[in-house]
Chains A and B, each alone.
Chain A
Amino acid sequence: MIEVREISKRYVDILALNKISFTVDKGELFGIIGPDGAGKTTLFRILATLLLPDDGSARVNDWDVIKQYKKIRKNIGYMPGRFSLYQDLSVQENLEFFASIFHTSIKNNYENIQTIYEQIAPFKNRKAGALSGGMKQKLALCCALVHNPEVLFLDEPTTGVDAVSRQEFWESLIELKNKGMTILVSTPYMDEASLCDRVALMQTGRIMEINAPEAIIQKFSKKLWAIKADNTYHLLKDLQSFQHIDTCFPFGENIHVTLLHGEADMNDLRKYLQEKQHQELTITTILPVIEDCFMDLMTEDILH
């Protein structure tokens, strides 16, 4: 459905995209995971036919993004990163307008947006500018869906949105996917990766890894521990100065630790931490999450 081959894009002195390649199958929910500056927005704009790549090629629904841009524009739903509705128009007016520019009406495609629309329907006469962040994003999604597109491009739809609204938004996406929609979505929130069929982990214009979230986690070869003590800051400082430490990152209430020689260094670490008199110390072996993998890939990247 989406095919990206060796795409590069440079702005004056920054290489925003560096030979990006991936494919998305029909009906897949594909996530582009990465922080700001990874190149997510540039990638979306190229796929939405709004930017020309310097190099490489891309096809959406087997149409070329450069030559057949008109066909693509008719058949995609695009929600840019910055919130893109008219603040001074009501919910209803926004939706009607976006339907009209695709030569359709809300009625024609109502079943498409029904489940999401019902959540915002109570506010349909309210100005979009007066909606809460979560509601705005739902409305924007409705607007991107109102012409029944074949592919959805959602650039950071959940950024700055609270955890509850984010969860609801993802429930809507999964529902759409189950109806057969192909969705390409980007997010800086690593925990959202597990909701995708496959993800690409991006950092400074490069894709570090593409795979199903479980497969990425399985690939994590090191042994990972979660360590907890009464004073996290002291624990972190002490861990950082431990001689066999590989990585140590605060993670929720714990600190996630990998050691240079894995299991072999663990006894030394236990002794070391006891010497430092940490109270309520617990050390457990854990399975990594996507964020661990992302940081691992980042550190590897820096080393190379």
Chain B
Amino acid sequence: MENKIVQPVITAESLTKKFGHFTATDAITFQVKKGEIFGFLGANGAGKTTAIRMLCGLLMPTSGNASVAGFDVFTQTEEIKKNIGYMSQKFSLYEDLTVKENIRFYGGIYGLSNSGLKEKTEILLSKLKLKNEARHLVKSLPLGWKQKLAFSVALIHEPAIVFLDEPTGGVDPITRRQFWEMIYEAAYCGTTVFVTTHYMDEAEYCDRVSIMVSGKIAVMGTPDALKKGFSVKTMNEVFLKLAR
């Protein structure tokens, strides 16, 4: 990659969220650069979801600072929402709408013009090889296709950052890899990818990962550096060593 200094698109400084006496995220600090694939790992209940919700402007932090795509998470949540894409395993597409209707709906809510929408729809359909299924209901598609479609739809307004919450759960191994190819491609085109996963081999696909343990970021770095630091061979072992 080029050797220029890249501005961070996500910065978090001592970002904290408390629910009553319970501190869900405890003063986390990190930066994510433009075009980076950042793996955000942690055990269930370590505070990942809370952190992502704060970064997406859905949850007001208790203290600390954070900016996403240059906008402040305290005061500019509306701007943040316009500049990010979000996809999760649980919520992504409307099952009872067709492929085309879903694309048009999401394009519409992100303010794409009518002609822009038409063009985007065509590009998306041919890229995903879904032209013949354009008029099929989403629920009739295999899971892997749904997830690929959901990812493309999350990118429809060309956001600076896309948040992916366990995007590949339950998907077959080949489709999972095709999905990651799409992630690579998006990152290569300059989109920052912020992703959580339970598949530890997927953690290795990331440029950098952070692992959260009980509300704090325990370690952060490239997968190689983390593995060397713990003198182990796989990210899975890093994860197990940390969380135990």
Q: Do chains A and B touch in the complex (CB under 8 A)?
A: yes
Indicate if the CB atoms of A250 and B180 lie closer than 8 Å.
yes
B215 to chain A, nearest CB (A): 13
| Residues from chain A with Cβ under 8 Å of B243 in the complex | 162-164
Q: Which of B8-16, B40-48, B103-111 contacts A (4 or more CB under 8 A)?
A: B40-48
Complex Cα–Cα for A250 and B180 (A): 8
Q: How far is the CA of A219 from the CA of B144 in the complex (A)?
A: 27
Asked if residues A163 and B239 are in contact (CB atoms below 8 Å), the reply is yes
Are B169 and A295 in contact, with the CB atoms below 8 A?
A: no
List residues of A (281-304) whose CB comes within 8 Å of B's CBs.
291, 294-295, 298-299
Range, interface on chain B: 35 or more
* A221 in the interface (beta carbon within 8 A): no
Q: Please, what's the 1-or-0 string for B166-188, where 1 marks a CB less than 8 Å from any CB in chain A?
A: 10011111110100110011011
Contact of A35 with B173 in the complex, beta carbons under 8 Å: yes
A164 to B240 CA separation, bound complex (whole angstroms): 6
- A122 located at the interface, meaning its Cβ lies under 8 Å from any Cβ of chain B in the complex: no
B198 on the interface (CB 8 Å rule)? yes
**Is the Cβ of A36 less than 8 Å from the Cβ of B170?**
yes
Chain A residues positioned under 8 Å from B199 (CB to CB): 189
A203 contacts across to B, CB distance below 8 A: 172
A159 at the interface (CB under 8 A from B): yes
* Across-interface contacts of A212 in B (CB, < 8 A): none
**Quick check: A134 and B174 within 8 Å, CB to CB?**
no
B127 near A: Cβ within 8 Å? no
Q: Is the CB of B173 within 8 A of A161?
A: no
Given pairs A167-B240, A252-B201, 10 additional interface contacts (CB within 8 A) = A35-B170, A134-B43, A162-B239, A163-B236, A163-B243, A165-B43, A188-B169, A249-B173, A253-B223, A299-B174
Chain B positions near chain A (C-beta within 8 angstroms): 1, 42-46, 142-144, 166, 169-175, 177, 180-181, 184-185, 187-188, 198-201, 204-205, 223-224, 234-236, 239-240, 243-244
A selection of 22 A-B contacts at a CB cut-off of 8 Å is A34-B172, A35-B175, A36-B143, A37-B142, A37-B143, A132-B44, A132-B45, A133-B45, A160-B198, A163-B43, A163-B198, A164-B43, A188-B169, A189-B199, A191-B200, A231-B1, A233-B188, A252-B201, A252-B234, A252-B235, A253-B224, A295-B173
A residues touching B (Cβ–Cβ < 8 Å)? 34-38, 132-134, 159-167, 188-191, 203, 231-233, 236, 249-253, 291, 294-295, 298-299
